[in-house]
Structure 1
Amino acid sequence: MRARWQSLLERFAALSARERLLVTIALFAVIYQVADLVVLQHQARRVEALNAEIASARTEIRRLNDEQNVLSAGLQRDPVAKQRTAVELARQQIRQLQGQLDDATRAMISPRDMARFLEHLLSQEDALRLTRLKTLDPVPLLGEEPTRDRPDGLASAAVHRHAFEIDFDGDYFATLRYLRALEQLPWQFAWDSIDYEVIEYPRSAVRLRLHTLSLSEDWIGV
């Protein structure tokens, strides 16, 4: 193994300056792809589990809402105590599930904090320069808007997807430190994509796309 390594070093030294530069860039690209894959897979697993929990809670809320509507209709025709009790129980279950849904989204970083930390952590790296930070329009996670002004006073909470795009340029190692700093934040968010392009070695252009989830459609100060 040592002899093979020495042979590779000798072959590398025999290359022209241009060839050595191209080999170095290719090596950095491979290292970046491996690190990128590890970070994305870790975040994807965390967010996938949270999304499943949210989807399950939303499905149960819809089922209970449907059940409550049936019971309410029956109550209007035959206002007996048993049905009234069942309706109130359904309302309590809906409130409980909405509380669980709120707890699940609270584990995600807020849109306001996401924008703030994206810019703040990047400013800690002298070798990186921010060129653009864009917030995209919020989108209901399951393609539904919340039902407001319900006669029973209960709202069908919608989970909204708040997405960001951030563009910056700098060297590879500063970029890797920045990605690690984001990944170590105590809140959860989802990586959508990372575009990395070498402009003029060692400087590269990077675009991150990521999102967080919130029960609020508003950006709250972003």
Structure 2
Amino acid sequence: MNRDTLKNWQSRIDALSLRERAFLLLTAGLILGYFLYLLLIQPTWQALHQGRAELESLQTRLTALEIRSRDLASGRATPEQERLDRIAALQTQLAERESRLQARLGGILAPQQAAQLLQSILAQTRGLQLRQLHSHAGAPLFNRGSAATAAGPAVGRYNLTLEMEGGYDATRRFLQQVEQLPWTLFWDSLEYEVKDHPDAMIKLNLYTLGHS
């Protein structure tokens, strides 16, 4: 910048009012401060922030290593031992659940009695004839481990399938009598297919629980 240009700018500044000069000075100060921030303060702040994050990460890893070291020193925390501990805890929970379920089986109809009782009710229901009755044991309710085995016999599901022939009213009466039993039978599915009105083929799937 030559002297003439400098004098020209000085003349322009001298021509400004006091308020305009103050505003110009403030603007120049803000611009200078912004460049100082970009050149000096911002890089320093970023480096400080990055260093703090790295320090926190190292501290977290160090804490985890200290805990791991103490566990290994005490001989209780190898990966295999941790897995075995989790399995043992789950088996204990399953054994407790199965024990509670076994305590409730007194209100559930025993598998050996269920088929006989259903046949008896069916024989007393006019307009409904039994064609076939199937019963078979299903899978245990729980996958048993060593802890569950110690709790007692397994609790399993026993499926009952009745194939009957009759009308709608007779079927409804039969189902009502089954529902009014003082024991518990669990409903699975009901198929009702009309063959020769009003007679239909009825397939009723039930199940009960019992010890295997």
Structure 2 Cα separation of the partners of residues 158 and 196 of structure 1: 34
* Pick aligned residue for 1:180 from 173, 176, 182: 176
Match of 1:101 in 2: 101
Per-residue deviation, 1:103: 1.8
Distance 1:65 1:156, change over 3 A: farther
Per-residue deviation, 1:147: 4.7
SS of the equivalent of 1:112 reads: helix
Larger Rg: 2
Which structure has more RCO (C-alpha within 8 Å, separation ≥ 6)? 1
Compute the TM-score of the two structures, normalised by the length of structure 2. Answer: 0.51
Per-residue deviation, 1:119: 0.7
* Pick aligned residue for 1:204 from 200, 203, 207: 200
Match of 2:137 in 1: 137
1:17-56 pair list within 5 angstroms: none
Q: Is 2:177 the partner of 1:168?
A: no
SS of the equivalent of 2:120 reads: helix
Structure 1 residue ranges without an equivalent (≥5):
1-62, 70-89, 218-222
Per-residue deviation, 1:137: 2.9
Per-residue deviation, 1:145: 4.5
Structure 2 Cα separation of the partners of residues 141 and 187 of structure 1: 20
> In the alignment, is the contact (CA less than 8 A) between 1:108 and 1:212 conserved in 2?
yes
SS of the equivalent of 1:136 reads: strand
Aligned residues with identical type, % of pairs: 30
> In the alignment, is the contact (CA less than 8 A) between 1:194 and 1:208 conserved in 2?
yes
Per-residue deviation, 1:100: 3.2
1:70-149 pair list within 5 angstroms: 100-142=100-142, 144-145=143-144, 147=146
Distance 1:193 1:98, change over 3 A: closer
Deviation track 1:179-201 (CA, whole Å, cap 9, x = no partner) reads: 00000000112111000011111
Structure 2 residue ranges without an equivalent (≥5):
1-84
Match of 1:195 in 2: 191
> In the alignment, is the contact (CA less than 8 A) between 2:132 and 2:164 conserved in 1?
yes
Q: Please give the root-mean-square deviation of Cα atoms over the aligned residues, in Å.
A: 3.3
Distance 1:149 1:141, change over 3 A: closer
Distance 1:199 1:108, change over 3 A: same
Distance 1:146 1:165, change over 3 A: farther
Equivalent pairs counted in the alignment come to: 128
Structure 1 Cα separation of the partners of residues 141 and 98 of structure 2: 15
Per-residue deviation, 1:66: 2.6
Per-residue deviation, 1:109: 1.0
Compute the TM-score of the two structures, normalised by the length of structure 1. Answer: 0.49
Distance 1:180 1:138, change over 3 A: same
